[in-house]
């Protein structure tokens, strides 16, 4: 049988009927190295070489332990060995991480070399993040023709991104973020047909973005943020059918945003979910074609030079959760279509030139938490309907031209922790509940607004129909002398009043300090999210890869094995057990490594977001008595697979049933 048929059989096993696997189908995969030893058994010539084989057996026994690892006899290929030596020679290793990379090559493919993973003697992964490595990445890396994953992020590597990376036909993931790389991005990276994820953010790269980066039909994440890239955004990136995350924020990009999003003609619609272009020099208007990106969840175009009105077509983005257009020169009105953004959580339009009224239909945004319209030219009244958005936490309407009174309906917003309407033309009395919850700075700058500070009370009408005192009634003199008891009571009352005022003062100070601390924490959290923003769905501590040809998403945690979604789905599988929650398999990967895979039943699992949150927490747990969760896979039809280390000594159930 061919490889394709085998792969199809295993994909069907994981996605369709989990009980279709048998021991015979699992054993058919075999170990490649085991098969190689049984190819030629005929003839008597083997006796001629018997002394030679005995010599090899004796020699090998002397080098069974290499760097503390048992050598399994697999030798790295000469080309890969030479490439690894060249890479080591150009790296500054102050911590001695590469000490295990010996001059003989022994142990390179047996776990003896730090960060190296092999299949059949060929290097498929280099994983050395957070190792304090300096120097540069050698161009000899292009000799590792089987390399799938290059993970050297969070080091101090300098020099340029090797041009020869574009010569690697099997390269799937490049993770070089948080280093000191300089120079331009090599256009040759577009020649890698299997490339899925490219993250070289937070370096010192310059020059233009190569249009060829979108050439790979499997690319789903491009993160070039926090560099010094210039020029315009290539229109080819807007037409990639597989691209999910495009992060280009904090660069020097200029020109217009291409208006070809979502593809043209017969090309597939875009899968884009995250688009961050903030903190650049981009000009022009917001493209109307952004409204075609039906899966879009996060759009950040802030801190640019964008002009014109907000397209009403953006109201069609039903999955949009974050929209940040702040600090531009956008004018016009707030589109009425924004009321259709049912998933919107944060809307930031601060520091633009928006005018006219705030739409009354904003109360249809039931998930809205942050509404920031600060420093615009908005007029009219604050819509009372905003009091119906029970989820809202922050409102900032300061530095506009709003008039009228503050609606009493806003006092119903129990989650509201930040409220600012300062420097408008508001009038009337501040609702008492709002004046008690927020300090005077939230209301200052409104000349006709009163009731929010003691020095500016609201005037009350003079009392009517009071009985007039007769002018002929003589005043009644009171000349009673205060007794000692009266004096003591008066003094005690004054002291009690002073103590009460002091307690109120201390309480106010405490409340202000907590509020200031809360605002500072909020700003810090926003800055951190912007710095790495982009990785939607990306779980904490995991590296995301696409689901390969079958679709879906594979998320890795730390672990000794390197595999892709295709590797996992094409693995031979053997049923180990079944339960009410799913079926457990022993899966043998293409490289011979074994993992435990549990396929969860659909009716016993939660929604995708809750599932990913809980699995991300499980992936962090490490304990000697618990199996480590190494990865999880979400299929295109809701399938959920958990990947654990495989324990070769059986289960408790098997031991119990032996007796």
**Residue bearing the bigger pLDDT, 131 or 652:** 131
Q: Which residues contact 525 (CB under 8 A, 6 or more apart)?
A: none
Which value, in Å, is the radius of gyration of the alpha carbons in the chain?
34
Please give the average per-residue pLDDT across 105-113, as a whole number: 91
Vertex 536, ends 224 and 330: CA angle to 5°?
Answer: 70
pTM: 0.66
Provide the β-strand partners of residue 125: 117, 149
Q: How many residues does the chain have?
A: 659
Label residue 457 by pLDDT band (50, 70, 90). confident
pLDDT tens per residue, range 114-162: 999 999 999 999 999 999 999 999 999 999 999 999 999 999 999 999 9
Over the chain, what is the mean pLDDT? 80
In 3-state terms, what secondary structure has residue 197? strand
Please provide residue 336's backbone torsions phi and psi, each rounded to the nearest 5 degrees.
Answer: -65, -25
Q: How far is CA 240 from the centre of its chain?
A: 21
| Residue closest to 595 by CA, chosen among 649, 644, 650, 651 | 644
pLDDT interval class at 59 (50, 70, 90): very low
Contact 147, 194 (CB under 8 A): no
Nearest 5°: phi and psi at 85? -65, -40
Are 257 and 287 within 8 A, CB to CB?
A: yes
Comparing 1-15, 231-245, 415-429, 527-541, the range with the smallest average pLDDT is 1-15
Q: Which residue has the higher pLDDT, 116 or 577?
A: 116
Q: How confident is the model at residue 44 (pLDDT cuts 50, 70, 90)?
A: very low
Residue 618 CB coordination number (10 Å):
13
CA dist 478 → 475, 482, 484, 486 (Å):
9, 11, 18, 16
In angstroms, the CA 434 to CA 149 distance is 55
- Alpha-carbon gap, residue 386 to 393, rounded angstroms: 12
Kindly tell me if the per-residue pLDDT of 35 is higher than 70. Answer: no
Kindly list the structural domains of the chain, giving each domain's residue range(s) and its CATH number in brackets, ordered by start: 75-229 (3.80.10.10), 539-657 (3.30.200.20)
Question: What are the tokens at 25?
Answer: 């189908």
430-434, 457-461, 471-475, 605-609, range with the lowest pLDDT: 471-475
Please say whether the beta carbons of 279 and 249 come within 8 A: yes
Smallest CA-to-CA distance from 129 within 544, 541, 595 is with 541
Find out whether 176 and 191 touch, Cβ atoms under 8 Å. Answer: no
pLDDT at position 225 over 60: yes
**Choice among 85-89, 136-140, 565-569, 640-644 with the minimum mean pLDDT:** 565-569
Between the two ends of the chain, the Cα-to-Cα distance in Å is 41
User: 563: which 2 tokens?
Assistant: 């595999």
pLDDT tens string 516-566? 766 655 544 444 444 444 344 444 445 666 555 556 777 877 655 567 777
Q: From residue 278, how far is each of 76, 105, 254, 328, 632 by CA, in Å?
A: 46, 47, 11, 10, 32
Tell me if 170 sits within 8 A of 149, measured CB to CB: no
Query: Is the pLDDT reported for residue 5 higher than 90?
Result: no
Residue whose structure tokens are 């739409």: 359
User: Does the pLDDT at position 64 exceed 60?
Assistant: no
| CA 201 from centroid of its chain's CA atoms | 14
């Amino acid at each position: 049988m061919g490889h394709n048929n085998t792969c199809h059989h295993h994909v069907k096993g994981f996605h369709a009927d989990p009980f279709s696997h048998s021991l015979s189908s699992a054993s058919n995969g075999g170990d490649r190295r085991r098969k190689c030893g049984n190819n030629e058994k005929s003839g008597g010539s083997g006796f001629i070489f018997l002394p030679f084989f005995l010599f090899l057996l004796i020699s090998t026994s002397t080098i069974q332990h290499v760097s503390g690892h048992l050598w399994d006899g697999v030798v790295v290929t000469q080309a890969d060995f030479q490439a690894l030596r060249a890479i080591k020679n150009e790296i500054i290793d102050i911590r001695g991480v590469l000490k295990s990379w010996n001059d003989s090559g022994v142990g390179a493919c047996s776990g003896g070399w730090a960060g190296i993973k092999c299949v059949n003697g060929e290097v498929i992964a280099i994983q050395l993040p957070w190792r304090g490595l300096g120097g540069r990445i050698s161009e000899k890396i292009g000799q590792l023709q089987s390399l799938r994953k290059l993970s050297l992020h969070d080091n101090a590597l300098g020099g340029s991104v090797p041009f020869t990376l574009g010569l690697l036909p099997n390269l799937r993931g490049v993770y070089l973020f948080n280093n000191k790389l300089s120079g331009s991005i090599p256009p040759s990276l577009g020649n890698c047909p299997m490339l899925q994820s490219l993250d070289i953010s937070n370096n010192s790269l310059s020059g233009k973005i190569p249009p060829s980066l979108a050439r790979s039909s499997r690319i789903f994440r491009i993160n070039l943020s926090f560099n010094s890239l210039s020029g315009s955004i290539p229109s080819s990136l807007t037409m990639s059918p597989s691209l999910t995350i495009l992060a280009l924020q904090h660069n020097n990009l200029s020109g217009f945003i291409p208006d070809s999003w979502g593809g043209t003609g017969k090309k597939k619609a875009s899968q884009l979910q995250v688009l961050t272009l903030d903190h650049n020099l981009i000009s022009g208007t917001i493209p109307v074609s952004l409204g075609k990106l039906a899966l879009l969840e996060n759009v950040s175009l802030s801190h640019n030079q964008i002009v014109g009105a907000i397209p009403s077509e953006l109201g069609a983005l039903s999955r949009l959760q974050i929209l940040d257009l702040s600090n531009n020169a956008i004018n016009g009105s707030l589109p009425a279509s924004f009321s259709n953004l049912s998933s919107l959580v944060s809307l930031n339009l601060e520091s633009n030139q928006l005018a006219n009224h705030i739409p009354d239909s904003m109360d249809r945004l039931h998930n809205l938490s942050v509404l920031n319209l600060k420093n615009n030219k908005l007029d009219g009244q604050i819509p009372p309907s905003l009091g119906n958005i029970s989820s809202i936490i922050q409102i900032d309407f300061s530095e506009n031209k709003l008039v009228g009174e503050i609606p009493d309906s806003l006092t119903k917003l129990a989650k509201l922790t930040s409220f600012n309407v300062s420097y408008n033309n508001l009038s009337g009395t501040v609702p008492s509940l709002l004046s008690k919850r927020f300090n005077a700075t939230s209301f200052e700058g409104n000349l006709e607004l009163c009731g929010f500070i003691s020095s500016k009370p609201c005037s009350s009408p003079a009392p009517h129909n009071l009985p007039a005192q007769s002018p002929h009634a003589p005043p009644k003199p009171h000349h009673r002398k205060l007794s000692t008891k009266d004096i003591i009571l008066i003094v005690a009352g004054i002291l009690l009043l002073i103590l009460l005022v002091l307690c109120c003062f201390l309480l106010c100070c405490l409340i202000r300090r907590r509020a200031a601390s809360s605002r500072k924490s909020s700003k810090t959290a926003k800055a951190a999210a912007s710095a790495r923003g982009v990785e939607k769905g990306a779980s904490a501590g995991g590296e995301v890869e696409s689901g390969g040809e079958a679709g879906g998403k594979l998320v890795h945690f730390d672990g000794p094995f390197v595999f892709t979604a295709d590797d996992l789905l094409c693995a031979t599988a053997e049923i180990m057990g079944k339960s009410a929650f799913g079926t457990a398999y022993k899966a043998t990967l293409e490289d011979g490594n074994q993992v435990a895979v549990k396929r969860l039943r659909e009716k016993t699992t939660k929604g995708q977001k809750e599932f990913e949150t809980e699995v991300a927490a499980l992936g962090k747990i490490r304990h000697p008595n618990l199996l480590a969760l190494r990865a999880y896979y979400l299929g295109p039809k809701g399938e959920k697979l958990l990947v654990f280390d495989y324990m070769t000594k059986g289960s408790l159930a098997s031991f119990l049933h032996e007796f």
